[in-house]
């Protein structure tokens, strides 16, 4: 009985630490995983239709090795589950940050220009012309 309690405790700890929620750990991440995550995020914001500029928003995307996002994505807020978008963008940033550390990725440390989202011809665009 004395050995059973420590073994059960250890088993519970191992189960609690297992990756059962489908999140990719940074040891498993590669460029292909990041590309798939990016495609999923871009699919979430694909519907850029709008009727006024107040419907257009931006979100910092990616993780530069020096800190901050690589770019800002423009999206139409009424067409997006913003909570899900924020979660997926945060997961992507964490995965890319781990990838950068593991692979010695460097960047120029320049700040990415923020987008200037606006509704033009019933579509949200970045007036600064950022892709």
More confident call, 129 vs 61? 61
Task: Tell me if 8 is assigned to some domain.
Answer: no
Q: Looking only at Cα atoms, what is the longest distance across the chain?
A: 73
Domain that holds residue 89: 26-121
Q: What is the pLDDT of residue 26?
A: 40
Looking at the domain assignment, is residue 39 inside a domain?
Answer: yes
Which element (helix H / strand E) includes 61? strand 56-61
Q: Structurally, how many domains does the chain consist of?
A: 1
pTM: 0.75
| DSSP H helical ranges for 52-117 | 82-103
- 131 assigned to some structural domain: no
If one compares 129 and 77, the residue with the highest pLDDT of the two is 77
For residues 54-72, one letter each, b for 16 or more C-beta atoms within 10 angstroms of the residue's C-beta and e for the rest, the string is: ebbbbbbbbbbbeeebebb
pLDDT digits (tens, 9 = 90+) for 36-94: 999 999 999 999 999 999 999 999 999 999 999 999 999 999 999 999 999 999 999 99
54 occurs within a structural domain = yes
């Amino acid at each position: 009985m004395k050995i059973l309690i420590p073994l059960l405790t250890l088993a519970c700890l191992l189960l609690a630490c297992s990756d059962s929620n489908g999140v990719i750990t940074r040891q498993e991440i590669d460029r292909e995983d990041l590309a798939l995550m990016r495609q999923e995020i871009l699919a979430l914001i694909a519907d850029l239709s709008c009727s006024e500029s107040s419907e257009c928003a931006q979100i910092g995307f990616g993780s530069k090795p020096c800190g901050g996002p690589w770019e800002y994505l423009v999206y139409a807020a009424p067409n997006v589950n913003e909570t899900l978008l924020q979660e997926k963008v945060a997961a992507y940033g964490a995965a890319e940050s781990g990838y950068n550390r593991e692979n010695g990725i460097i960047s120029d440390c320049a700040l990415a220009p923020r987008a200037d989202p606006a509704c033009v011809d019933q579509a949200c665009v970045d007036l600064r012309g950022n892709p």
